[in-house]
A and B are shown apart, each in its own frame.
Chain A
Amino acid sequence: DAGVIQSPRHEVTEMGQEVTLRCKPISGHDYLFWYRQTMMRGLELLIYFNNNVPIDDSGMPEDRFSAKMPNASFSTLKIQPSEPRDSAVYFCASSSWLWGYTFGSGTRLTVV
């Protein structure tokens, strides 16, 4: 298995633009997580899904953030409109039974 695949690896966008981050989890994993990593706040859980259903989105910072998982092999995290304070590395991770998360390589988002 190729692991958790995230795209793009880097994204630079202007303030106010829509940004979409993509994730392909490991086949067979029934949990998918979106984390945001910053120096100040470390790894923050934004939202997680179980069997494609959102379970807890209380970590999503604002209504500007939304996430979907239309099927077991694909998830998106969308920010609209983007702001400079959204600049961070966004990680997707997947797992079975909440054990042993496998993280993707992340998307480094820069909003200018």
Chain B
Amino acid sequence: QQQVKQSPQSLIVQKGGISIINCAYENTAFDYFPWYQQFPGKGPALLIAIRPDVSEKKEGRFTISFNKSAKQFSLHIMDSQPGDSATYFCAARSGNTPLVFGKGTRLSVIA
């Protein structure tokens, strides 16, 4: 049972464009929604996170948009750069439970 559904599986974006990755969930008890970034040969690293009491959080070129009623959240990468090419994972958790991860999106930013 996949608790967090992530799309698309892969994404190709032109340099300077906007990358958008979406996640959907069913468990309304989820109260923490992070995004992780993984480069080849490395472990995932926390990129940005949001809690359901806000609809948007921005850190530099990275923004999480959260829609509680639709049970969806998304990652936007503005002015995408080749260095952003990586695999991105959304995740969620509720209370004292561990994170559950989406299956990941492989982003390629081409010049």
Q: Which residues of A contact B (CB under 8 A)?
A: 4, 33, 41-43, 45, 48, 56, 91, 93, 98-106
Q: Which one of A43, A45, A103 contacts B45 once the chains associate, using CB atoms below 8 Å?
A: A103
Interface residues of B (CB under 8 A from A): 32, 34, 41-46, 49, 89, 93, 96-104
The answer to whether A4 and B98 have CB atoms under 8 Å apart is no
Q: Which residue of B lies closest to A35 (CB)?
A: B101
B43 contacts A105, C-beta separation under 8 Å: yes
Taking A42-B103, A42-B104 as contacts, is the C-beta distance between A56 and B43 under 8 angstroms? no
Contacts of B41 in A (CB 8 A): 105-106
Chain B residues in 8 Å Cβ range of A4 = 43
Q: Which of B43, B100, B102 contacts A93 (CB 8 A)?
A: B43
List, sorted by A's number, 14 A–B pairs whose CB atoms are closer than 8 Å.
A41-B103, A42-B103, A43-B89, A43-B104, A48-B98, A56-B98, A91-B43, A100-B34, A100-B49, A101-B44, A101-B99, A102-B45, A105-B41, A106-B41
A103:B43 contact, CB within 8 angstroms: yes
Question: A42 contacts which of B32, B42, B45, B102 (Cβ < 8 Å)?
Answer: B102
B89: chain A residues within 8 A (beta carbon): 42-43
| Bound CA span A106–B44, Å | 10
Are the C-beta atoms of A98 and B93 separated by less than 8 Å?
yes
